[in-house]
Structure 1
Amino acid sequence: MARRLSSLFVLLVLLHIGMAILVMAAPSCGPIEANDRDRIQFALNLEFLEAEFFLHAALGKGLDSIEPSFAQGGPPPIGATKANLDPVTNRIIEEFGYQEVGHVRAIIKTIGGVPRPLLNLSRDNFANIFDEAVGFKLRPPFNPYANSINYLLASYVIPYVGLVGYVGTIPSLVNSTSRSLVAGLLGVESGQDAVIRTLLYEKALLPVVPYGMTVADFTNRISNLRNALGMCGIKDEGLKVPIQLGAENRTESNILSADANSLSYSRTPPEILRIVYGSGNESNPGGFYPKGGNGRIARQFLTKV
């Protein structure tokens, strides 16, 4: 019964997406015109987001405490705070935070940086995202910093978006230095996402207190939300999927999200902006980026408002 309900939920979400696309103007799902520098600087927006989220959760302080010059005068994040993590999870997230500092440094040194955009990592923002994902207001509001499971679910929301962005970026890069840089970034981003998904998969059937939904339920609904916001089909899957979406149509487990050939999905910058803005519109900032992203690609969409 639970499996049938899960499949029905996926089908209803896809029907909703299809109807929305019919009513609205067709979204941009194809490639954009941009040079290597602009594409990689676009990704820096997401690297800033991950760095601040991981560092604050593990250490109680962010990028400015380690490499203040990297922000280039950009404002500190809103609402980021120390999370109540168990020792093992804290150590993992601390390592991820330091890795993100390295990613920011590598981008700045290789092609130049952009100012850190205003980031909203507040409880209220995450609560809104989780309410949107499940389709109703959670009581009490979801708090990403309350415990390890909540934090890992909140982490599920973020790194995967950067991963699929890098997969979409590499084929369009011209310079070998750019391709080498992004390949290196993608390798670690993929590893981070795999670790987060594995930690959650170990607890997939456990209820997330006090909501009466399992860890797997939350991941499926978050992935469905990102597909709906991205507006370009299924490019995101939770930890448990209908067997027709599992690897070789032989498994319902889905520790790694991948297509029919077990290749990583890819997304374009407009798709990513629709998701991280939480608006389904690359020209309408909000969500994690109240004033939008920085760099030419993100700013050019804002000028279309």
Structure 2
Amino acid sequence: MGAPAFVVAAAAAVLLCGALARAQDMDKEWARPPYRGFFGAPGSMLPQSDVDLLEFPLNLEYLETEFFCWSALGYGLDAIDANLTGGGPPSIGGQSASLTPFIRDIATQFCYQEVGHLRAIKQTVRGFPRPLLDISAANFGKVIEQALNATLDPPFNPYENSVNFLIASYIIPYVGLTGYVGANPKLFTPQARKLLAGLLGVESAQDAVIRTLLYERGMTQVSSYGVGVAEVTAHISDLRNDLGRRGVKDEGLVVAPGQGPEGLTVGNVIAGDHLSLAYDRTPEEILGIVYGTGNPAQHGGFFPQGADGRIARGLLGV
């Protein structure tokens, strides 16, 4: 026998009231003034955590922009669009690289892609001014010496030739893309996830191009150091693993037997885990790597005064 009509009506009224109350709560939630992030991003509806996670990679995007643009064009972001610098200090040591026409063309494309990334992020969150960046030959030389655990003579110079430029390029974009992979599950909003996916796609493609060009030159000797390109990439990856302090999340162009895709190749033109999925990194790992200190609270390396944004500054205790 069915329930009396008045019981059904009462239950329906309770459900309706609950639904209306929830709808009113949602209206209040989405009727908030546009979220303005740390520096204020007009029109943004992102929660603070999404803003922080989208602002953090600006550090890497600034770094990539400056290195690729200086290498390809002989000038940096100030000459392309000074507004995008936010009034931040000019980078240290940038210079035009001695590149083949083919490699210069690729570097030029990378340069303008990175400029686009800066625009995309800053159209979503306000961001922060370009931090002080050290893209000098001396700084890259320190990274390579740290990776090889040797003093090099002559010092490694990323601007000297195309091979050196590609090796220096190997150092940077991959770190950023692992950060995007790590940030993805932490984002709440579709807007933030869509932006991150777009950035990750192009950063991954850049890394694949760099690795492919280096793989083709794997046996080429790097200057007079008595070491080949593939071996140098392995040492750079080992260094990043050491500085990241979270295990293996980086692999060179050639790996030990059983460590390539499905354990069946030693060639490793694209880095990935045992399922050939991209590795992830946290902001703490990334900062330890780009600072060259292994410690997100101790700046240095490419960021002499530290990275910017709430995450990086919080880790520095600023």
Judge same fold: TM > 0.5, yes or no: yes
- Number of the residue aligned with 1:80: 94
Say if 2:64 is the partner of 1:45.
no
Paired residue for 1:132, among 121, 146, 149?
Answer: 146
With CA pairs under 8 Å and 6+ residues apart, which has the higher RCO, 1 or 2?
1
Provide the rounded CA distance (Å) in 2 between the counterparts of 1:262 and 1:126.
29
> What is aligned with 1:259?
273
Partner of 1:96: 110
- Cα deviation code 1:114-139 (max 9, x no counterpart): 11000000111011100000011111
Deviations 1:254-301 (A, max 9, x none): 000000000000000000000000000000000000000011000001
- Letter of the 1:128 counterpart: K
The corresponding residue for 1:23 is none
Matches of 2:298 and 2:258, distance apart in 1:
35
C-alpha separation in 1, matches of 2:203 and 2:239 = 21
Cα distance, 1:110 vs structure 2: 1.1
Distance 2:51 2:79 in 1: 27
Displacement of 1:243 after TM fit?
1.9
Q: Determine helix, strand or coil for the equivalent of 1:66.
A: helix
Counterpart residue number, 2:206: 192
Question: Are residues 1:277 and 2:291 paired?
Answer: yes
2:302 aligned with 1:297, yes or no? no
Which of structures 1 and 2 has the bigger CA Rg?
2
Residue correspondences, number: 272
Letter paired with 1:194? A
Amino acid at match of 1:227: N
Output the CA distance in 2 between the equivalents of 1:38 and 1:244. 39
Unpaired runs of 5+ residues, structure 1, are: 1-33
Residue 227 of structure 1 corresponds to: 241
- CA distance in structure 2 between the aligned counterparts of 1:66 and 1:208, rounded to whole angstroms: 32
Task: Specify the SS of the correspondent of 2:123.
Answer: helix
Amino acid in structure 1 at the alignment position of 2:150: F
Amino acid at match of 2:299: P
Query: How far did residue 67 of structure 1 move?
Result: 1.1
1:108 to partner: Cα distance = 0.4
Deviation of 1:245 after TM superposition, in Å, equals: 1.4
Q: Which amino acid aligns with 1:222?
A: I
Q: Distance in 2 between matches of 1:101 and 1:72?
A: 13
1:208 Cα shift? 1.1
| Residue 206 of structure 1, CA deviation | 1.4
Counterpart position of 2:258 = 244
CA displacement, residues 86-137 of structure 1 (integer Å, 9 cap, x when unaligned):
0000000000000000000000011122110000001110111000000111
Provide the alpha-carbon RMSD of the alignment.
Answer: 1.1
Aligned to 1:122: 136
CA shift digits 1:13-65 (9 cap, x unpaired) = xxxxxxxxxxxxxxxxxxxxx70001110000000000000000000011111
**Which amino acid is the alignment partner of residue 162 of structure 1?**
G
For residue 16 of structure 1, what is the aligned residue in structure 2?
none
What TM-score comes out, normalization by structure 1 length?
0.88
Query: Which of 162, 167, 187 is the aligned partner of 2:181?
Result: 167
- Match of residue 30 from structure 1: none
Aligned to 2:161: 147
- Local SS of the residue matching 1:127: helix
- Provide the C-alpha distance between the structure 2 equivalents of 1:194 and 1:205, rounded to a whole number of angstroms: 18
Asked whether 1:35 is paired with 2:49, we answer yes
Q: Of the candidates 192, 201, 204, which is equivalent to residue 178 of structure 1?
A: 192
Local SS of the residue matching 1:248: helix
Mapped pair 1:64 → 2:78: yes
Q: Which amino acid aligns with 2:49?
A: N
Q: Structure 2: how far apart are the matches of 1:235 and 1:103?
A: 24
Q: For residues 148-194 of structure 1, give each alpha carbon's deviation from its aligned partner in whole angstroms, at most 9, with x where no partner exists.
A: 00000000000000010000011110011000000000000000000
User: Residues of 1 paired with 2:175 and 2:258: CA distance?
Assistant: 23
Aligned counterpart, 1:13: none
The more displaced of 190-199 and 34-43 is: 34-43
Q: Using the alignment, how far apart are the partners of 1:137 and 1:244 within structure 2?
A: 32
Gaps of 5+ in 2: 1-47
CA–CA distance in structure 2, aligned partners of residues 127 and 88 of structure 1:
24
